[in-house]
Chains A and B, each alone.
Chain A
Amino acid sequence: MVNSLLHVFRNNAFGRETFMQSLYFCKTLDFTLRVYIPRHSKFLMYFENEVTQVDLDQSYLSDPETAQEHVEALAKKAGVSVDFLTPKDFTASTLPDVPIGFDCMCCPRSMSDKTSRIGLGYVGPKVRRIAVAAPFPVLVTSLCYKPWNSVAVFFGGSANAFKALSMGLSLSRRSGMPLDLFTIEEGDVNRETLDNLLQAREMTSVVEEGVREWHFLSKSKLEDNLYEIPPDALTVIGAYGHGMIREALFGSKLEVIQSQIINNMMIVGPKCRVF
């Protein structure tokens, strides 16, 4: 089975960094790369039970004549074959429907905001909505091209964390890179309860075989624990498994993590399937 990654190309220096990250991802995991060069400032993605409109800033539409050329040059250099995606369906004449039959989608930190805002470290609302609704994970890239040499999974025992763990195991297996687990100890989340949960799901042996090291981080502030994450790891995190109210009250760990570390990050949403 050949998997594919969707990349929405932005024809500027920042877009090049993101694209190189996608190329690296595809080369490492033997994915095919589908590139969408936008011709309109917005597009729709129809998921199973939700439609998401992605509003792009003008930088995505800059210099369309050279966009394909740039993509091909970078892809050739990386030795990755590229397939350009041309939307066939349009909800309105300037509103193309981008298909969703991919196994992963690459998004910069915020697809909606202007390039200058991307460094603020905020998973934009559209990226969040895609991650919530999509059957694929979202690869949120680091600000500049940064190859990864290991996989780091945040594992807290929730249903989505298990999905992230499975994804991490798959990524590790396919890339041949080591996998480390990171658990932030709080409340009931400790080694014993997680071992029990793994046993209940019959994953103990898989984890023992596939995980290089399981780190338990116990500092009271979440941010303080993140120093332990290897800077060259692809971090995998299950996200958006809880409701908006809970998130509004207690905040989102994902937002904190991604604003504190600049690693490439894979967000595994509640409807995501593991490749």
Chain B
Amino acid sequence: MTPKNIAGMAKRLFFLRHEKVALLLAGVLVGCCSGVAAAGLSFAIEHLSELCAHAKHYWWVFVLPGVGAALSSLFLNKIVREGAGHGVPEIIYAVSRRGGLLRFRSSFSRLVSSCLTIGSGGSAGPEAPVVMSGSAIGSNIAQRLGFPSRHRITLVGCGAAAAIASIFNAPIAGIVFTLEVVLGEWTAVNVIPIGVASVAGTQVGRLLMGNSIRFSHAHFSPGTWDIAAAFGLALATALVSVALSRMIRSSGKMWGKLPASKMSRAFVGGACVGLVGLFFPQVLGEGYNQIYSLIHGQYSPGLVLLCAILGLKMLVTATTLGSGGSGGIFAPGLVVGSFTGVAYFRLLSLMVDVGHLAPEGCYALLGMAGIMGGMLQAPLTGLFLVVDITSGYEVILPLIVVSLVSSSVCRYFESDSFYLKDLKAEGGLIRPGTDERVLEDLQVSEVLEHNLIPLNNHMTLADLVAQVKSSHRNHFPVLDVKTNEFLGMIDLAKVRPYLFNRELYGTVLVVDIMDHFPPAVSPDERLTDVLELMDRIQAFSLPVISGKRFLGMVSKGTLLDHYRRELIVQTTY
């Protein structure tokens, strides 16, 4: 090894170390900003809810959620012109397809809109909006600091982790949610900055909102029978998860068909929620108070009423989110989960002696993990979220059972999680470590081969033979001599019989023997689709056409060369 090589290596190591330090520092910055955003949203929702509570004695109180949702829609669609959904799928799309690029406006838009929706009584959670905000902060900080896309994705993850960590005071859940749901990969490169950001976000949240366990509870000591009962609860939560996911999705489609403006739809939807809230105020807002009562065994309504409230909570959540309100599914999912857990326990108590089981509050915890694990199909996220927000490590064994089984059963009914279903259907999801992910960073223009000899429509077979002698290619595009437009393709494999018949040289034109409608691709085509087409028609190369102009050829050989190079780039760090 020469001194020059050693110097080069030292320089590279130094740079790498610095890059990692820079990433860590940026992670801390992103974590702190996300923490502030989470605290800000939490304060804002609290104060708006208090303000709206003053009106609870008036008959018109039911329109408040409608007004909040309408203002939220107005802000999101007309003022900041965000034009996007609930947030988390957009982040996953950005991570998966766009190198973590998110718009600056996303760093505040969802905070304001979700505050209006939830603060006025809409049934949604502040977590998805704050995750959106944190991720957008991470993306924009990465853009301003000029980080490459792989680090930008990590900083998006830092924002998401810190947001969850801060709003729930749950640092581990933040990390796990980000790695399991948002990024879809666990690597040392990601884990360290995301962990640091999560700590920063949690600490900022604690400084601003106080350090308290959100749902502290009495000590539970679940035994073997509780673990056995957890299997039944897992099945119940799985079914409820599937139902809730489908209700939200169908509600979105149903409200979308209404011939009214987005703002009007949000108003009507919010007002419907408000009407239900007149009779069942428990279903309004985040619903954290309900969870608290359920965990502490202070929830007095009987089983039938409990099930009714559970159904209504699901309905108003679907209405709030489907009609255009802004918010996430974490908080409603937790509320629905705790109701499901307690309902399951009470149902069980009708059938068997539950004296040797843990109290019903324990089942509220288990239900929360089951719903989160089921809806997100991310068992660890559900598990650690509940452990973090309840400090309930003693219930870890049944929690694991509920979370894993619920997630697995949900997968049987729904191939993808709530966040990923639409994304996957639209081709917007590409997970790390797949061919698609590698090819995603390549464009048709990058693999285009230009070293082809074009023929024109006046050329004869003799001209073709002359060109064949001076070319190593098997394909010759035929262009219009006047307009330069693409007319067709000569594939030597197909015209070989003519090449050896000298009598035809002067009489046959290339247009007579060319392929007039060869399969072609456009310059915007995804390379995965190009490869798929090549496999399907058993072609090794395809012409690239824009309008009627021939741009070049794309071949399997060149494509795989670029693939390999891109793979090295993506896996080197």
Contacts and interface: CB of A to CB of B under 8 A. Distances in A.
A33 B450 contact: no
Given A42-B83, A79-B483, A83-B522, A32 B146 contact: no
Contacts of A33: 547
B523 interface: yes
B548 to A, nearest CB: 4
B526 interface: yes
Contacts of B267: none
Q: What size tier do the contact residues of chain B reach?
A: 35 or more
B87 to A, nearest CB: 10
Interface in A37-54: 40-42, 44, 46, 49-51, 53
A83 B546 contact: yes
Given A42-B83, A91-B90, A94-B83, A2 B483 contact: no
B101 A4 contact: no
A232 interface: no
B550 A53 contact: no
A51 B98 contact: yes
Given A42-B83, A81-B483, A101-B445, A51 B547 contact: no
B547 A32 contact: yes
Contact of B428 (A30, A51, A90, A99): A90
Contacts of A99: 524
A77 interface: no
Given A46-B98, A50-B143, A81-B483, A2 B443 contact: no
Interface in B389-435: 426-428
Contacts of B427: 88-89
A92 interface: yes
B549 A81 contact: yes
Interface in B40-91: 81, 83-85, 90
Nearest to B101: A51
B551 interface: yes
A65 B549 CA distance: 26
A1 B506 CA distance: 31
B346 interface: no
Contacts of A44: 103
B525 to A, nearest CB: 8
B81 A90 contact: no
A34 interface: yes
Interface in A86-103: 88-95, 97, 99, 101
Q: What size tier do the contact residues of chain A reach?
A: 20 to 34
B97 A89 contact: yes
Contacts of A88: 427, 524, 526
A55 interface: yes
Most chain A Cβ neighbours within 10 Å, of B83, B90, B103, B550: B83
A92 B84 contact: yes
Contact of B550 (A2, A34, A49, A89): A2
B183 interface: no
A175 to B, nearest CB: 16
Contacts of B84: 91-92, 95
B485 interface: yes
Contact of A101 (B94, B485, B523, B549): B523
B551 A2 contact: yes
Given A34-B546, A51-B103, A89-B428, A42 B81 contact: yes
B294 interface: no
B102 A51 contact: yes
B549 A49 contact: no
Nearest to A133: B143
B98 A2 contact: no
A101 B90 contact: no
Contact of A2 (B97, B146, B524, B549): B549
A4 B93 CA distance: 28
Contacts of A94: 83
Contacts of B90: 91-92
A90 B426 contact: yes
Contacts of B445: 101
B471 interface: no
Given A4-B546, A88-B526, A53 B143 contact: no
A95 B83 contact: yes
Given A46-B101, A95-B83, A2 B546 contact: yes
A41 B485 CA distance: 33
A213 B261 CA distance: 58
A85 B524 contact: yes
A82 B549 CA distance: 9
Interface string A139-159: 000000000000000000000
Interface string B469-486: 000000000000001110
Contacts of A90: 426, 428
Interface in A12-66: 30, 32-34, 40-42, 44, 46, 49-51, 53, 55
Contacts of A46: 98-99, 101
Contacts of A30: 484
Nearest to A53: B103
A41 to B, nearest CB: 8
A75 to B, nearest CB: 9
A97 B526 CA distance: 13
Contacts of A85: 524
A85 B103 CA distance: 23
Nearest to A43: B83
Given A51-B101, A79-B483, A83-B546, A101 B143 contact: no
Interface in B95-150: 97-99, 101-103, 105, 143, 146
Given A90-B428, A99-B524, A53 B547 contact: no
Q: 6 closest pairs, A vs B, by CB?
A: A83-B547, A92-B84, A81-B548, A81-B547, A51-B101, A32-B549
11 contacts: A30-B484, A33-B547, A34-B546, A42-B81, A79-B483, A90-B426, A91-B84, A91-B93, A91-B94, A92-B84, A95-B84
Given A4-B546, A81-B549, A83-B547, 10 more contacts: A34-B546, A41-B81, A44-B103, A49-B101, A51-B101, A51-B102, A55-B81, A83-B546, A88-B524, A99-B524
